[in-house]
Structure 1
């Protein structure tokens, strides 16, 4: 479960997040919407530890992680620009987090093969990012995030780089990944259609606060 308690964030004298509080049940696919510049990405960065809140707490499964480093939180994050490492192969991208955590090499290799097969990128394992299409990069970034074996997956506009013909397939992939890995997902999007397809819980950031509505089970 994710629990946000009175999260505030101020920048340049402006309040972006104003007492954001919510509890999100485990294994829920959550969609977060709101106007450009309203603080959606900042909220994801606070949850995963890339940004410190001005006030408030972040709890994961009842554990206060507000002051922990990102690698200590057990969270997978796919930023909007995907942030693939330019000089690493796809294989090395996926193995990055397991290697950092000291996973044995044979276990790393098995995990990389399993995720690559699941995401349909096995043929890409020896390529570097500049040899990949937008859709291929999106799958690699998702595999890299899943390789950290997170309970919580944060996705910032993960389908925005895909054309319309690819979005339906990518949405189905995200749904199957969420179910197979028993993930709680927080997915930022501007697309109402995307939100309707994926979201079990809809959140909207308005004037620095969250509004929510349950849509489906």
Structure 2
């Protein structure tokens, strides 16, 4: 596919996940940096994403929002990058993409906000408990080199990003298995390129005030 790719982002946001994924697929893309509370909430960008949040990726006439969806879409749109398993081998790939988008993000967010699910209500919430989520995720990253087996996929971009942010900001427990898994991911050239670009963009924003 030759349609232009555009990344709408801010370097201090989940847009870093989409940037990493774009660097993994290795095709040219254009970056639009948006500002919280101003251009991100303006009419021009709301025509792209009515939520007024980043990231979003525009590919020709198609717009994709939500980081897990962006990772899955780009893996399918650019199969030559090899970031999605063959269809018949996608069970674990889909499982962990959506585990991170659902139970992991919800449990971590609620914990940060100080919300603890009452013991008698744990069956009513999709993730049960924060501890359950951490234990399940730890077992997954200890089982194989990557989240869906022995090959790196788009699911590692998404799950790894959650773990990286959580370890950095203290919202996810610093278990050795988490640190070892994320450490492997940070050695990837695409991760390092993405990080350098976002760090440079963040420095420019700070300089501009």
User: What is the TM-score with the length of structure 1 in the denominator?
Assistant: 0.31
- Give the TM-score normalised by structure 2: 0.31
Task: Select the structure with the greater relative contact order (CA < 8 A; seq sep ≥ 6).
Answer: 1
Structure number with higher helix proportion: 2
